């Protein structure tokens, strides 16, 4: 039985490492070529979505160009530490196969929901103010 559990843990870790590898490869490709995945929302509507500029922001952060990262997407830049905390928490729970209590499931939902509302408001404001 222990082998099955450890195999599952290795599988989960492998999944996370594969995802990180894909993200790193995309970041390197974007940084070297300047090409990124275009925003479908922007292509269809002509408006900026809350995440528009996110790839430029991450590329600038990888180059330690804080000013350019901030200018690419101000709100996403400010929320990034909170988003990273949520993602790290969720990944650690995934790797530990830990089932959250209902209190923490509600807290995660509220936390993620508040971040989404902030980004949605940002998406509206940035188009009204042409940011």
As for how many domains the chain has, the answer is: 1
In a domain, 27, yes or no: no
Q: For residue 56, what are the domain limits?
A: 38-128
pLDDT of residue 1: 44
In a domain, 6, yes or no: no
In a domain, 13, yes or no: no
**8 A C-beta contact, residue 12 and residue 97:** yes
Compute the distance between CA of residue 32 and CA of residue 48 in angstroms, rounded to an integer.
Answer: 24
In a domain, 117, yes or no: yes
pLDDT of residue 101: 65
In a domain, 124, yes or no: yes
In a domain, 49, yes or no: yes
- List pLDDT tens digits, range 22-35: 988 988 888 788 88
- List pLDDT tens digits, range 89-107: 888 888 877 666 676 778 8
pLDDT of residue 65: 94
Q: Which of 15, 123, 17 is nearest to 74 (CA)?
A: 123
Lowest mean pLDDT among 22-31, 40-49, 66-75: 22-31
Compute the distance between CA of residue 104 and CA of residue 122 in angstroms, rounded to an integer.
Answer: 27
Check pLDDT > 60 for residue 2. Answer: no
């Amino acid at each position: 039985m222990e082998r099955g559990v450890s195999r599952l843990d290795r599988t989960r870790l492998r999944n996370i490492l594969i995802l990180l590898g894909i993200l790193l490869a995309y970041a390197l490709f974007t940084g070297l070529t300047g090409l990124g995945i275009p925003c479908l929302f922007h292509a269809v509507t002509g408006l900026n979505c809350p995440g528009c500029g996110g790839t430029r922001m991450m590329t600038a952060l990888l180059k330690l160009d804080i000013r350019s990262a901030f200018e690419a997407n101000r709100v996403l830049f400010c929320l990034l530490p909170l988003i990273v905390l949520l993602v790290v928490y969720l990944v650690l729970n995934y790797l530990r196969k830990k089932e959250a209590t209902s209190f923490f499931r509600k807290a995660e939902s509220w936390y993620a929901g508040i971040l989404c509302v902030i980004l949605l408001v940002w998406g509206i404001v940035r188009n009204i103010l042409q940011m």
